[in-house]
Chains A and B, each alone.
Chain A
Amino acid sequence: MEKEKTLYSAIPMRTWRWLGVNGAYVPAGVVPADGNDVPAGADRQWSVAQGAVRTETVVYRTEQAGRVTIDVAPGAKLHYTQVQLLPADKGHVDSLEINVAEGAEARVTIAELGAAETVSKVTINLAGDGAVGDLAAIYLGNGSRKVDLNYVIRQAGRRTKADMQVRGALKDCSEKIFRGTLDFLRGSKGSVGREREEVVLLNEGVRNRSVPLMLSGEDDVDGHHAVSVGKMDQEKLFYITSRGLDLSEAQRLVVEASFNPVLERVEDTALRAEIEQYIEERISDGK
């Protein structure tokens, strides 16, 4: 019998139930519905003082649930990196919430790569005037892995700037749902929001669901989102294989090239090498 599940993460605006994208459910007891009472040791709460610069990195290697909350004070800068490298037989749930005050900046880099099933939510509140949220993420699905991502950037202050860039690759019979929301609240005059998702489908049998939402209660904004989903560029593939590389090596090169703009943001070179190694193993052995 399937374990009872509870709603962990909900889309900001509901749509047809048959599409199965309105909410993400996790086993009851793993993490309570809206994450106020997270298991001990997995809760991190930080703040970045006014005008300060802070760099933080969270790597999930064994923990199966985690919540991070960060307040970025006026004029402060946050560089936050979150990497999930759990073994392929584990389930994972995480939540990240960042509140960005006036003139402050949050630069967030995420790699969702491991676990059998992962449910992840990110909310960035651009609360103050001139707040900046720059979110770049990669995800990889292989084997029978299931990835569920729900990212929201809420633009409340005036002249805020949001950028959400998500790149993914799906292989074998993996499945993924990505919900990306830019929410321009009334009063966010002069704000700009950009969102794009690029998905490479490496073989038949995968399932990709993309839900790019853009909500606006303000006319004086400039919002744009784009999604592109497709198989590997056949010309590129032909070129690489004609140079003597086999298919899985060619796939790895294409995926790495796609992920590079995000990976380059990971400043810790040892961690970056570990991520690259992890991706390589996942693509080549399919586990």
Chain B
Amino acid sequence: MEDVTRKKTYVEDIERSLYDIRNEDRSLYKSAKGLTEAVVRDISQRKGDPDWMLQKRLESLKIYNELSMPSWGPDLSPLRMDDIVTYVRPDAKMTGNWKEVPAEIKDTFDRLGIPEAEKTSLAGVGAQYDSEVVYHSVQKELADQGVIYTDFETAVREYPDLVKEYFMTLIPPTAHKFAALHGAVWSGGSFVYVPEGVHVDIPLQSYFRLNAAGAGQFEHTLIICEKGSSLHFIEGCSAPKYNVTNLHAGAVELFVKEGARLRYSTIENWSRNMMNLNTKRALVDKDGVIEWVSGSFGSHVSCLYPTSVLRGENAKCEFTGVTFASKGQDLDTGASALLLAPHTSANINTRTISKAGGKATYRSAVKVAPAAKGAKCLVNCESLMLDDRSRSDTLPVMDIQAADVEVGHEAKIGRISDEAIFYLTSRGIDEKEAQAMIVRGFVEPISKALPVEYAVEMNNLINLELEGTMG
């Protein structure tokens, strides 16, 4: 009988030393472990919340206690909320001057290249360490045009009406258990307001770093792009590895008004002990455009499905995502789009790669409401498996309630073809490089959508992941 087994070598995990450097935990204050009303009240008091915010937190806590854990998706049993510290205040004050950031924290962000990126390619930066934002800056020209880019606590204090109008309206605490958790213990995050007609030409960035062991990070990001404005926002996340479970349950709420355009890019590289249960939603008005670029490389477990609610006529959503699941990782990612108005359109394009026993799941939902006449939706997901110990699953759902629509879905799964490798090696390229070239080509639709610095970072991550993987 023909032997169809092919030889391979395995590398269990990538070299993550850059991301895994952990600093001594020098937090100024940590909340008690677990989630109780006393903990929530304590966080609220320490953050100087106005009363409405405290009430919102308490209401969220009540909902959290009432909701059950999800009945689908990855195993969340390693997560024991009683062991999670929900608030860690680093020994640093928020500053707009990089020199004032404490040396240890500064070194961490220096290693990750954040200040360098600010100098070369960003209009503003926010850097969050554990539960608090430690550095924030925005270029003067943007501030002069009325662009607000600040940490979330400052926004609650200085722009209470705006925050109150939008905060957790798109992701209400009732959305799911981890949205309720977020509502109860949120801390840090970014607030961006782009006034009507203002175009922010170079990207803003927030970087989230969770240093403390056994802690949770619950930052809130709220972006409002007024009529005809445009913005590119980049989010980066990382953490060192510990033997205890860390939790990330952030919330991202994006409001794209009439004719506005927002691109939201994320390169996520959490350490392999992180449960990444993040929620992201965008509400798009008439002629508005939301573009998601999403790279998921890290974490032990991820559940991440950015959702676009296209409520205005001719609103559009473009989603481009890449997920790379390696040893010990269960990355359940995808996207959802709700097409609620006439001539709305959604284009979802994803690539997943799994290796060394990693599990990558593509999960999506596309819903076309009866009013969405002339709606168009195209979903394309491709999966690449690098060995036979890994898993790759695809689970898209389309719910179409209008007839005058065009909906298409296509998915492929497979491995790197021997013919392609043979072709490249016969042209003098060594096998390892040939395979890396093919994987880079496979994720090209995503790297093309990123600013060049981030595309390079993503390619480096892929090269690290592939080093010695295949043979």
Contacts and interface: CB of A to CB of B under 8 A. Distances in A.
Interface of A: 13-17, 19, 21-22, 129, 158-159, 184, 186-187, 189-190, 201-231
B449 interface: no
Contacts of A225: 394, 409-411
A118 B336 CA distance: 29
A220 B393 contact: no
Contacts of B385: 216, 218-219
Contacts of B392: 216
B4 A220 contact: yes
Residue of B373, B393, B397, B400 most packed against chain A (CB within 10 A): B397
Nearest to A14: B72
A202 B403 contact: yes
A194 to B, nearest CB: 11
Contacts of A21: 397
Contacts of B413: 184, 214, 216, 221-224
B399 A209 contact: yes
B370 A158 contact: no
Contact of B412 (A14, A217, A223, A231): A223
Nearest to A219: B385
Interface string B395-426: 11111111111111111111100000000000
Contacts of B391: 215-217
A216 B352 CA distance: 13
Contact count band on B: 35 or more
Nearest to B72: A14
A213 B395 contact: yes
B256 to A, nearest CB: 23
30 contacts: A15-B395, A16-B72, A19-B397, A19-B399, A187-B388, A189-B4, A201-B403, A202-B403, A205-B403, A209-B398, A211-B396, A212-B411, A213-B394, A214-B413, A215-B391, A216-B391, A216-B413, A219-B385, A219-B387, A221-B414, A223-B412, A223-B414, A224-B412, A224-B413, A225-B394, A225-B409, A226-B408, A226-B411, A227-B409, A229-B398
A26 B5 CA distance: 44
B400 A208 contact: yes
B383 interface: yes
Contacts of B403: 201-206, 231
Contacts of B408: 226-229
A100 to B, nearest CB: 18
Interface string B37-74: 00000000000000000000000000000000001110
What are the nearest 5 A-B pairs in CB distance? A219-B385, A201-B403, A14-B72, A223-B413, A229-B407
A220 B6 CA distance: 9
Contacts of A22: 72
Contacts of A218: 385, 388
B273 interface: no
B325 interface: no
A233 to B, nearest CB: 11
A216 B383 contact: yes
Contacts of A209: 397-400
Contact of B398 (A14, A159, A190, A227): A227
Nearest to A129: B1
Contacts of A217: 388, 390-391
Contacts of A211: 395-398
Contacts of B363: 15
B11 to A, nearest CB: 16
